[in-house]
Amino acid sequence: AQTQRRGRFEQAEGGTLFLDEIGDMPFDLQTRLLRVLSDGQFYRVGGHAAVKANVRVIAATHQNLEQRVKDGAFREDLFHRLNVIRLRLPALRERSEDVAMLTRYFLQRSARQLGVEPKRISDAALALLTRFAFPGNVRQLENICHWLTVMAPAQVISAQDLPPEVLEATPHPAAPLQGVADEVAAGATSASTPALPPAPAGLRTDQAAALDGVGWEPALVSEAQQLLRSGQADVWDVLTRRFESRLIRTALQATHGRRMEAAQRLGIGRNTITRKIQELGLDAHDDE
C-alpha cells in the first residue's frame, strides 16, 4: 500500500455494513471477515496498528449456507457468527399477490427515469405476470417493467406486449381470439390447469359438450364471443369470476376444504386463496 485508504469497515464506523451474497465469498476472505467479527478490530493493508471496528453487519445470500458448510465451501464458525438474527425473504413467486403493486410501482419509476408518461397495464397482461415464476425475482420484474416502458407501442400494455420469456412460459388457448376476447382467453387460461369440471355454471349445453370432447378452451371462446356480441361491458370480470370460482371450489373439494393444501396444489399463496374466497363469496370452510 503506497497511500492510506479507508476500508469498508472503517467507512462504516458507527453504522451498518451490508455484505451481499455472503455465500459466494472466497474462503480466504471468509477467514479475514471472521477475524474482524471475532476480535472487533482489523489492520489496514500495509498497517501494523489495530483499528477498532464498531459496525453492525447485515449479510444476505441466495445460497443455502448450511449446505455450503456441509460442502466445505463456507466456514462453519463464520456461519454461526453471522447467524444471530435470521430473516427469510420469500421469493416473488411465493407472493404473487405483490406482483400487481410492484408492477405499477416499477412502471411509474421507469417513466420518471425516462421522462415519459407512465404506462398502464391491462388486466390480462397483469394476470400473465402474476402467474409467471420470476426466476430472477423482483429484479426481473423491475427489468420487465423498464422494457415495457420502452417497447410497448401503446399507453396501455396488453398481453401480447409482454416479453418472450413471459409469453413462452404461459400456455395459450387453442383457438385464437381477436381484440378484447384474445386478452380474456389469454388471461383466463394461463393458470396451467389440466381441465375444469364438466360444465362451469352459465355455459350452455353445446359448450358443455365441447368441454367433454375437445377441452374447455373452445367453450371459453364461444362464451366470450357470445358476451361480446351481446354488448356486455364487463366480459373480463364475468368470465374471470366464473373461472376462479370453479377452480377454487374444485381444489377445495379435492382437499376436503383445507385451504392451505388447496393453495399449494393450485400454485398460489394462502393469502391469495383466502382473499379470493372472500371476494367471490364462496361458502368454504377451513377444516385445518
What are the residues facing 41 on neighbouring strands? 52
Average pLDDT, the chain: 77
Higher pLDDT, 238 or 170: 238
What is the CATH architecture assignment of 92-170? Orthogonal Bundle (1.10)
CATH superfamily of 8-82: P-loop containing nucleotide triphosphate hydrolases (3.40.50.300)
What are the structural domain ranges in the chain?
8-82, 92-170, 174-288
Q: pLDDT-based confidence at 284, cuts 50/70/90?
A: very low
What is the CATH architecture assignment of 174-288? Orthogonal Bundle (1.10)
In this prediction, residue 214 carries a pLDDT of: 45
Residues 6+ apart with CB under 8 A from 19: 25, 33, 57, 58, 59, 60
In this prediction, residue 66 carries a pLDDT of: 92
Q: Report the C-alpha gap between 52 and 12 in whole angstroms.
A: 12
pLDDT digits (tens, 9 = 90+) for 3-59: 556 667 777 777 888 988 989 999 888 988 888 888 777 655 555 556 677 888 899
pLDDT-above-70 percentage for the chain: 75
Q: Report the C-alpha gap between 93 and 40 in whole angstroms.
A: 39
In this prediction, residue 45 carries a pLDDT of: 57
Q: Which residue has the cell 371476494?
A: 279
> Can you tell me whether residue 53 is helix, strand or coil?
coil
pTM for the whole structure: 0.48
